[in-house]
Amino acid sequence: MTTKYQGLPDIDTAPDVFETADEPESLLRPSEAYDDDEVPSKSTSEAIDSKGLPSRRKAERVFGRGTRRPDPSNLVFRPRLPPLSHRKLSTSSSSSESEEPPSRPRESALSRIRRLKAELAEVEADLAGSSSTSTSDPIPSGSQNQDREREGKRKSVLPARKPVDVVSELAGLKKRLERVDLDGPEGASVLSSVAEDGDSGGGGGEWRSRLDRLIFAEQRDHARSTDGDVGMSSTSQAVGEASASLSDLDKRLALLESTLGPIGYGLDQPSSAPLMSTLNKHDHLLALLTQPRHLDAISRRVKLLLVDLDRAASSSASRRPLAAVAGQHEKGSSEVVLTPTEYDSLQSLFNLLPRLDPLLPILPPLLARLRSLSGLHAEASDISEGLRKLQSKDKKGIEEVKEMEEVVRSVQGGLGEAAQGIKKNWEGLEGRLSGLEKRLKDLEG
């Protein structure tokens, strides 16, 4: 672009940083004369993603999450063929082909057999309808059908298909389905799936009825076969297998009953009782032993047993030195001879030992109690001494009071006598004064 406006004035010829450089014409239009190896390589930019577009499956997996799911009531178990698609040369086709198909839920043998039977019934109905409609029109040959199919379509790379007898194929498929019903490992899986599909409350009677129905259906199907002898032998073989399976089932049920036992058994069973009765008995005993009153009684008995064990241990420990002394006494008895009185006193002491043994466990707590009360006894003795001193002081005070009372009495007696003396003196003085006044009057007169 810079060469186009090179001769014009006031044109900025500096390269624009936002524009890419012009590619040469040889890169835009390569000559056909060059080989593929000689063609110059184009300069690629790091900002351009040169990878191919994602495949259709990957795009549907990422962007097709909002699509509505099909109604389960309208589902058809008819296998669908993959749609025809042109072969792409891009790298995305190879990547999509290399991808593994999405994992589908595993289908059980019973559901597969049911689906195949339903499909077989649909195919028979379609063939019956097509045969009724095609009776008037002649059936075109295989080459004509192939020519009509090839019209308007691309040329197929696959080899030409061989004509197929649909009726014979259907008959063979039906025979194979009937054979799969009970024969071989597929039949065992079908029976197990049928037993699993049954209700839990039905028990063995429902299983037995289902097995009888299957056996009856097999006998009826084999009776319809062309070869009567072969059919009878196969039915007898199937009946034998079914009876063998029933006998095995009965044996297993008997083994389970002998191991677990019926639920209605009581608790008074021997040691070889079934497991369920034993569990019930243990449960009942556990419920009885875990009651509070039983636990209290057990704890009291355990405490008494511990006390008895302590007494026995202490008595045995006290008897050991006595036994040693007795042994020494027996050894020295040959040297020392005891008198009858000493022997009687010793026997009386030995007779007292059984009475003292029960008291031995009480001695340690009694001594500890006495040690704790020693201080209290000392304080009591101090208080008693103080009381005695107070009593002695009280006695002394009482004696002093008695002495003071005697002194007071003596003083009172002295005062009374003094008062009487004073009265007498006063009376004598008054008599003298009166006599003196009479004399004075007499002198004046």
List pLDDT tens digits, range 328-359.
Answer: 555 554 455 677 788 788 888 788 778 877 77
Helix, strand, coil share of the chain (percent; to 5): 70, 0, 30
Residue 62, amino acid: V
119 within 8 A of 140, measured Cβ to Cβ: no
What does the alpha-carbon distance between residue 257 and residue 398 come to, in Å, rounded to a whole number? 106
Q: Which of 160-174, 204-218, 225-239 has the lowest mean pLDDT?
A: 225-239
What does the alpha-carbon distance between residue 197 and residue 189 come to, in Å, rounded to a whole number? 12
Which helix (H) or strand (E) is 290 found in, with range? none
Structure tokens at 353: 């030992």
Which is more confident, 180 or 445? 445
232 within 8 A of 220, measured Cβ to Cβ: no
pTM: 0.20
Instruction: Tell me the H-state helices in 139-227.
Output: 142-150, 166-180, 184-197, 203-223
Phi/psi of residue 112, nearest 5 degrees: -65, -40
What percentage of the chain carries pLDDT values higher than 90? Answer: 13
pLDDT band at 430 (very low <50, low <70, confident <90, very high): very high
245 within 8 A of 191, measured Cβ to Cβ: yes
Average pLDDT over residues 163-172: 68
DSSP-assigned states of every residue in 365-390: HHHHHHHHHHHHHHHHHHHHHHHHHH
Distance of alpha carbon 110 from its chain centroid, rounded? 36
Give me the pLDDT at residue 392, please: 94
The answer, yes or no, to whether residue 64 has pLDDT greater than 70, is no
Average pLDDT over residues 392-405: 94
Give me the pLDDT at residue 9, please: 66
* 190-199, 363-372, 436-445: range with highest mean pLDDT: 436-445
Q: Which of 244, 175, 179 is nearest to 211 (CA)?
A: 244
Q: Where do the DSSP E strands lie in 147-221?
A: none
Structure tokens at 98: 């290399």
What percentage of the chain carries pLDDT values higher than 70? Answer: 47
- Output the average pLDDT for the chain: 69
Give me the pLDDT at residue 142, please: 46
The answer, yes or no, to whether residue 251 has pLDDT greater than 70, is yes
Give me the pLDDT at residue 415, please: 94
Structure tokens at 185: 């490992």
Residue 38, amino acid: E
The answer, yes or no, to whether residue 410 has pLDDT greater than 80, is yes
Q: Which residue has the tokens 């024969």?
A: 183
180 within 8 A of 144, measured Cβ to Cβ: no
pLDDT band at 291 (very low <50, low <70, confident <90, very high): confident
Q: Which of 97, 24, 19, 22 is nearest to 56 (CA)?
A: 97
The answer, yes or no, to whether residue 390 has pLDDT greater than 90, is yes
Give me the pLDDT at residue 22, please: 61
Which helix (H) or strand (E) is 52 found in, with range? none
Q: Which residue has the tokens 């690629």?
A: 44
Give me the pLDDT at residue 234, please: 54
Give me the pLDDT at residue 121, please: 80
